[in-house]
Amino acid sequence: MEINKEFAKLSLPNQEPMTLPVITDTMGGRSIDIRSLRKDTGFITYDPGFVNTGSCTSSICYIDGEQGVLRYRGYDIEDLVEHCDFVEVAYLLVKGELPNVKERKRYADLLNNESLLHYDMQTFFRQYPAEAHPMSILAAMSVSLSAFYPEMDDIDPEAQIDFAVTRLISKIRTITAFTYRHMKGEDFVNPSYKYSYCENFLNMMFKSPVIEYVIDPLHVKALNQLLILHADHEQNCSTTAVRLIGSAEANLYASVSAGICALWGPKHGGANQAVIEMLHQAHIEKQSVKEMVEMAKDKRNPYLLMGFGHRVYKTFDPRAKIAKSLCKAVITRNGHSDPLLDMAMELEEVALSDDYFKERNLYPNVDFYTGLIFRTLGIPTNMFTCMFAIGRLPGWIAHWLEWKKDPYQKIGRPRQVYDGPQGRTVKTISER
Ligand code: SDX
């Protein structure tokens, strides 16, 4: 990253022009350093949704929205999905390097040792209605971990990081599986040292005393790849929430719980659930994809094509491409088919040939196909966003830690453009 090699000139009313340093990042992206703008000129900037605003410097994830490139710590997502499992990628995001065999084994042992949930926490589940949305339970249980594991409140990144990170990554998986068992009114299945991270999850979800449950290797491979696809995505809404809460020096559990709540929104991580609901609704109402596209284009109609569009990608989301081929592999095995997959592929084709979508660069994003795979793995629709959270957790943790080590960071507190009433005098209530 370079700064002060180039400068931007800002001409302001009734003031001398201001010279602002230009920062050039490692991939050639350029930004204007406005850190002294208000102090030197009294002006602030206005940028709803932070569309044009960089909140930090970061070396964790790189996205090129025009070229459809996604890299974690410099590695292309396609390479990571093909050659790594989720535990290796979690290690990479948090520590900056891929683990060797010894390091991977140590991480796996830490994840295993921390996979159980405190007995008293297990009683919490029984207090939730079976129809509670799993994300409400996941958010509450995540922040409750700080009550049961208080020693994690003041994490010293150097001394405790492996222990703290693996404990959270392991327990969020157990909490999600226990939530599913509670929804079904079934006993919890504890994790086992015999299984890998993803094998354990599937076993905790689906093992049954009345039928023989055999962990399907294709489902394990698909789950590893899905979690890798979700593992990080630079300064998205939920990661920004985790960074912001962390900037107040709240503990990691509280910050992650805020990230889970942000991810729950249908415009963000909740979209994978919304995609399946959209496809299912159209299927039962025998709606054509052409009708769906026309509804999405009608500005008088709040209907959106869920799983389409992205703030950063203005071409195919590389994760959607990977998820599409994984979807076909998992669903069409042994000649099976799924009418919703057929509808999704037709919808993609029709939308991408429509001027409204082409002019706005609206392509399928990560959520368009992933829900179809989760559904095929037997995961209920209302738990898809929990799966997104399990995947995104290493990314959230990596960003939370990066903020703690950033010498330029301070508590996040944006300014505003005020458009409320000017000074007024209070009248007594009898005068109002
Ligand atoms: C994720 O940030 C990340 O990295 C997020 C994420 C991650 O990994 O963390 O990638 C995960 O959140 C993926 C996105 C999942 N959400 C959806 O699929 C919901 C549907 N998509 C839209 O809500 C929307 O595309 C967003 C929220 C994803 C992006 O919104 P932006 O960048 O604020 O764009 P916009 O709303 O200003 O849309 C620009 C135009 C508008 O039309 P005009 O005003 O120009 O006429 O495109 C239209 C929008 O109406 N538009 C859509 C549309 N998305 C945008 N029209 C129909 N269907 C859609 N899906």
Whose CA is closest to atom 34 on ligand 1? 311
The backbone torsions φ and ψ at residue 282, rounded to the nearest 5 degrees and listed phi first, read: -65, -35
Among the options 268, 338, 354, 406, which is catalytic?
Answer: 268
Confidence of residue 23 (pLDDT cuts 50, 70, 90): very high
Give the model's pLDDT for residue 1.
Answer: 85
Name the residue with the closest Cα to ligand 1, atom 47: 360
Residue with the smallest CA separation from ligand 1 atom 51 is 309
Cα gap 146→149, rounded to integer Å: 5
CA of 362 to the centre of ligand 1 (A): 8
Atom 2 in ligand 1: residue holding the nearest Cα = 236
The pLDDT tens digits for 48-95 are: 999 999 999 999 999 999 999 999 999 999 999 999 999 999 999 999
| For helices 217-229 and 318-331, angle between their N-to-C axes, nearest 10 degrees | 170
Asked if the model's pLDDT at residue 96 lies above 80, the reply is yes
| 46 has pLDDT over 90 | yes
| pLDDT value at 157 more than 60 | no
Pairwise pLDDT comparison (160 vs 15), residue with the higher score: 15
The count of other CB atoms within 10 Å of the CB of residue 237 is 17
Which atom of ligand 1 lies closest to the CA of 232?
Answer: 8
Is pLDDT above 60 for 287? Answer: yes
Residue of 62, 292, 301, 310 to test ligand 1 pocket, by largest number of atoms within 8 Å of CB: 310
* 101-125: pLDDT as tens digits: 999 999 999 999 999 999 999 999 9
> φ, ψ for residue 401 (rounded to 5)?
-70, -40
Stretch 310-317: mean pLDDT: 92
Residue 151 confidence (pLDDT) above 90: no
Confidence band, pLDDT 50/70/90 cuts, at residue 143:
very high
pTM for this model (two decimals) = 0.94
The predicted structure's pLDDT at residue 373: 95
For the cut 90, the answer to whether the pLDDT of residue 150 exceeds it is no
Q: What is the mean pLDDT of the chain?
A: 94
349-399 pLDDT, tens digit each: 999 999 999 999 999 999 999 999 999 999 999 999 999 999 999 999 999
**Per-residue pLDDT reduced to its tens digit, 220-272:** 999 999 999 999 999 999 999 999 999 999 999 999 999 999 999 999 998 99
Asked whether the beta carbons of 181 and 269 are under 8 A apart, the reply is: no
Structure confidence at residue 158 (pLDDT): 60
308 three-state secondary structure? strand
Asked whether residue 190 carries a pLDDT value surpassing 70, the answer given is yes
Look at residue 331 in the predicted model and tell me its pLDDT.
Answer: 92
83 counts as catalytic: no
**Residue of 253, 384, 252 lying closest to 306 (CA atoms):** 384
The residue whose CA is least distant from atom 43 of ligand 1 is: 360
Residues with CB under 6 A from ligand 1: 233, 236-237, 267-268, 271, 296, 304-312, 360, 362, 365-367
Residues 140, 142, 147: CA angle, nearest 5 degrees: 90
In the annotation, is 310 catalytic?
yes
Active-site entry in 85, 232, 317, 367: 367
What integer pLDDT is reported at residue 80 of this predicted model? 98
CA of 309 to the centre of ligand 1 (A): 4
Stretch 119-134: mean pLDDT, rounded?
93
Q: Is 417 left (phi over 0), alpha (psi -120 to 50) or beta?
A: beta
Max distance between CA atoms of the chain, in angstroms, equals: 80
Specify the pLDDT at position 208: 95
Catalytic annotation present for 406? no
pLDDT digits (tens, 9 = 90+) for 398-432: 999 999 888 888 999 999 999 999 999 999 999 99
Neighbours of 406 (CB within 10 A): 14
Distance 271 CA to ligand 1 centre (A): 10
Judge contact between 88 and 169, C-beta under 8 A.
no
Averaged pLDDT for residues 19-47: 96
| One-letter identity of residue 328 | K
Confidence of residue 337 (pLDDT cuts 50, 70, 90): confident
Confidence of residue 39 (pLDDT cuts 50, 70, 90): very high
d(CA 113, CA 163): 10
Which position has the token pair 């993803």?
198
Question: What pLDDT shows up at residue 17?
Answer: 93
pLDDT value at 178 more than 60: yes
Helix (H, G, I), strand (E, B) or coil at 325: helix
Q: What is the reported pLDDT for 156?
A: 61
Q: Report the residue among 58, 365, 399 best suited for mutation to probe ligand 1: largest number of ligand atoms under 8 A from its CB.
A: 365
Structure tokens at 27: 């991939």
From the CA of 238, how far away is ligand 1's center (Å)?
15
For 53-73, b/e burial (b = at least 16 CB within 10 A) is eeebebebbbbbeeebbbbbb
